[in-house]
Chains A and B, each alone.
Chain A
């Protein structure tokens, strides 16, 4: 049995027909072709599929799709401006070399944006806590922390 699901994705209304056990990650990647949330572990451990649900970071792989009916989902597809300009966090990640293979980067950026949305000047510990659920197997943590810190300090802002 399939159910009609409607929600706002990056500010635009979207619809999909989903099974009760389909996850938000299944729907985003396979039905709506939004590819920034990555399927890493499918158990919520790695953080590569992190998206914003009503502004708060959650795991798309652990979110049953039907539970986001009528709600707001944001992925990094919405972060930059329409004319192609990068979000200050994306620009800072680029400048600090805060990415290597790039698989964890969308999730890292989502967690970082959620942090700065609620706390403009986080301490280093708060940054570490915010990204502690985003695992980077290339080990770019140092650069990621520097990149987030640079934006929160005002450097790299427009």
Chain B
């Protein structure tokens, strides 16, 4: 069966009614290859492209992004460029034009790939998700949302409605290493937020993607750099710590060994950029 609800209430009612049998369809860029290639035949498709979740707003300093917002809409948005440039950069580097036109931010999170590019900057910015169901709504921090590859805190009767990005002090950076420049998943990606005062770091957040079963925050690395004067040696120490917190696998895109080597260089580069240090 196919349903195209026209509002969020109608959509969550369908999810409540059909439970595990219902599969949410948004941009389709992750779901449809599984239908085409792996004979996935969802009993019930609930298409949420028409329920009004395509928006980016500023709500008392906090960024509110509708889960149905496409990657393309994230790239050219002035609010995002000002308040969450790392997220816009992650969107810019993802897929190809046609994929970015269809794929959505909510879909990227719900699909829960360890390499989900939009998850890493959202983790680094302490973003939260508004999950809706007929029972109401609940807020789950992005860092508690991912449970494993393809597994999330989302219940069968819930959908991701909105993404909240709190105001971020300082500079945010997103860097991605893929096997090519375009049309590729991350071998490793990193997002950092550093709030600097002169050369001293007041606040630090470091997130890694494609380096563990889920995108992760590297809290030990953050503690290494917080409150200290940032120089090249500290950056390298912090990058080493971040990689020690990761747990990558060998897969078709890279070996764990390579991911650690390249990831360390990428974290160090991101930290230097965020701290404004020439290398």
Q: What residues make up the interface of A, taking CB atoms closer than 8 Å to B?
A: 1, 3, 20-21, 23, 42-45, 47, 50, 53, 56-59, 61-64, 66-67, 69, 111, 114, 129-130, 132-135
Contact = CB atoms under 8 A, between A and B. Distances in A.
Contact of B98 (A42, A50, A67): A50
A53 to B, nearest CB: 8
Q: Give the 7 A-B residue pairs with the shortest CB-CB distance, closest first.
A: A133-B96, A20-B2, A132-B182, A43-B33, A42-B36, A57-B98, A62-B32
Contacts of B19: none
A67 B32 contact: no
Interface in B23-68: 25, 27-29, 32-33, 35-37, 41-42, 44-45, 47, 49
Is the contact region of chain A dominated by helix, strand, or loop, or is it mixed? mixed
Size range of the interface on B?
Answer: 20 to 34
Interface of B: 1-2, 4, 25, 27-29, 32-33, 35-37, 41-42, 44-45, 47, 49, 72, 95-99, 101-102, 181-183
A59 B99 CA distance: 7
A61 B37 CA distance: 11
Say whether chain B's binding surface is mostly helix, strand, loop, or mixed: mixed
Nearest to A46: B183
A45 B96 CA distance: 8
A66 B96 CA distance: 23
B32 A63 contact: yes
Contacts of B2: 3, 20, 64, 66
A1 B1 contact: yes
Contact of A62 (B1, B29, B97, B182): B29
